[in-house]
Chains A and B, each alone.
Chain A
Amino acid sequence: MLSLRIFIIASVIKTVLVIFILLTAVAYTVWLERKVVGHMQNRWGPTRVGPFGLLQPLADGVKFLLKEDLTPPHVYKPLFIAAPMIAVICALTSIAVIPFGTALPIRGYSIPLQITDVNIGLLVILGVTSIGVYGVALAGWSSNSKYSLLGGLRASAQMVSYEICLGLSLVGVLIVSGSFSLREIVQSQGGHFWGFIPKWNIFYGGQFIAFFIYLMSAYAETNRIPFDLPEAETELVAGYHTEYSAMKFAMFFMAEYANMITVACVATLLFLGGWSGPLFGPPLLVAILPTFWFVAKIFVFLFIYIWVRGTLPRFRYDQLMAFGWKFLFPLAIANLVVTALIVAYRSSL
């Protein structure tokens, strides 16, 4: 049991550390995207700033900071300013309940690699991300521009719709693992089937379907291609952030990529076994390896994100809604029913 003082110190250190890592990760996810997409499109991507353009995110950050912060005269100012803040705060907050690995033994204390372990962690993530919708919607409305308004409208409708599928896809996993706590969910995925297949939820029962639904919903929730209608450049100029520039724009940008990382984390934790993986080597390596596996899985997930962006075209809006309500939603319900039946059958054995 940690004393309150050590708890507070550890929490502050963890919070600062996690936010730093997260922001860095966001920056380099952007770099990764530019690089990967560039190679997919037969070009090099950023190469000039630093080796392989590795310093490009830093340069971008400086540029955003130094740019003139333009506030158009016709906007509703309080919300215009508040909207990007809501977006980025919600995106960063949700990382708080995500565990990155097993507890780290430091000076006799076992420090869990997680800012806070709440037993309804998954619900907290869902709640915070659902609040995040306001950022986009309010940005669209307060800009007082028709492109932004349409973007905001699309965003709120799309996100509310897909949140249902997202939640339903998670319920299957919750039934299997029997807990809302992310740490317990990961622990329930330890071990192997028949000695070699990892006992991840994605391989368990019908949860591959759940994973597919989650993937689709996650793309929609984060406004990514092929569901990036709220910010579709070709039709809405830039959607809800048309009127934004400089640091406010950067906040939306950061929020989007932070959200990507969050959903990648959740996917990893819920479907891909979290930090579980082969452990070997000296104790230090054993302590670090889980986090490595965790980051590696997130990387794979993010790569898929970028890969999809580089290959798929954008949906039309009615196709998007039809896909969500008429395909994913029934599929999620069916998956839920089947999973429940399987679990009930197993528990009756």
Chain B
Amino acid sequence: MLHLVLFLVFGAICVAGAINLLAQTHPISSALSLVVVMASLAVEYLLLGAEFVAAVQVIVYAGAVMVLFVFVIMLLNAGAEERTKGSHVALVLGVPGVLAGGLLVAWVLLKRSETGRVALGSLPGYPKTIGTLLFHEFLLPFEVTSILVLIAIMGAVVLASRPDAKTPSGKES
């Protein structure tokens, strides 16, 4: 019961945040809505027992990735969104398509809802368990991911640096 209540409360916050993300015109508001979604998702993870995932969700997503978003919004001084009409396809074809697909999936899932239930914190994902799995069974993907991150860092640096940037000719040089 407690589980269901908590699920519904934080699920509602989640959905509200997601819808607010769509409704807000200013990117900062959208970003904060997304932070809310992520934070409440972390709670949902906790309900499922994935406490390490929840902590990392907060630290990495809410604490780092979204800060980066906010930083970029501030850096580019992005204003409120202009409502240009660039694409009819997106509105006419895409949105109904998404809604139809989502409804279909939801219908199917809810129809089969009796097949599986989970208890509160049924699979406690302690850091030790996750770490053991990560460094034994998933060692190769882990290493490959580290290479991916390295490449991403270099890519980001190259992309964001101005092509005509000169080295700062200050006191050091």
Q: Do chains A and B touch in the complex (CB under 8 A)?
A: yes
Q: Are A134 and B74 in contact (CB under 8 A)?
A: no
Known: A131-B58, A137-B74, A180-B127. A156 touches B67 (CB 8 A): yes
Chain B residue at smallest Cβ distance from A174: B127
A127 touches B71 (CB 8 A): no
B163 CB within 8 Å of chain A:
no
A228 at the interface (CB under 8 A from B): no
- Number of cross-chain contacts by CB at 8 Å: 74
Q: Is A120 an interface residue (CB 8 A)?
A: yes
Residues of B within 8 A of A140 (CB): 74
Knowing A120-B52, A318-B168, the reply to whether A130 touches B59 (Cβ < 8 A) is yes
**B64 engages A160 (CB within 8 Å):** yes
> Total interface residues on A, using CB and 8 Å?
29
Residue in chain A with minimal CB distance to B42? A127
Contact assessment for B62 and A130 in the assembled complex, using a CB-CB cutoff below 8 Å: yes
Encoded as 1 (CB less than 8 Å from any B CB) or 0, chain A from 226 to 238 comes to 0000000000000
Of B32, B35, B63, B73, chain A has the most CB atoms within 10 Å of the CB of B63
Indicate whether A141 sits within 8 Å of B28 (C-beta atoms), given known contacts A131-B58, A156-B74, A157-B71: yes
Main SS at interface, chain B: helix
Asked if A266 is at the interface (CB within 8 A of a chain B CB), the reply is no
Q: Which chain B residues have a beta carbon within 8 Å of chain A's beta carbons?
A: 28, 32, 35, 39, 51-52, 55-56, 58-59, 62-64, 67-68, 70-71, 73-75, 77, 126-127, 168
Given contacts A134-B70, A156-B74, 20 further A-B pairs with CB under 8 A are A118-B51, A119-B126, A120-B55, A120-B127, A124-B55, A126-B59, A127-B62, A130-B62, A131-B62, A133-B67, A134-B35, A137-B67, A137-B71, A138-B70, A141-B28, A141-B73, A152-B74, A160-B68, A163-B63, A163-B64
Please report A residues at the B interface, Cβ cutoff 8 Å: 76, 79, 118-120, 123-124, 126-128, 130-131, 133-134, 137-138, 140-141, 149, 152-153, 156-157, 159-160, 163, 167, 180, 318
Please list 27 pairs of residues, one from A and one from B, whose beta carbons are closer than 8 Å in the complex, sorted by A's number: A79-B28, A120-B52, A123-B52, A123-B56, A126-B55, A126-B59, A126-B63, A127-B59, A127-B63, A128-B58, A130-B63, A130-B64, A130-B67, A131-B35, A131-B58, A131-B62, A131-B63, A137-B67, A137-B70, A137-B74, A138-B70, A141-B28, A141-B70, A149-B77, A156-B70, A157-B71, A160-B71
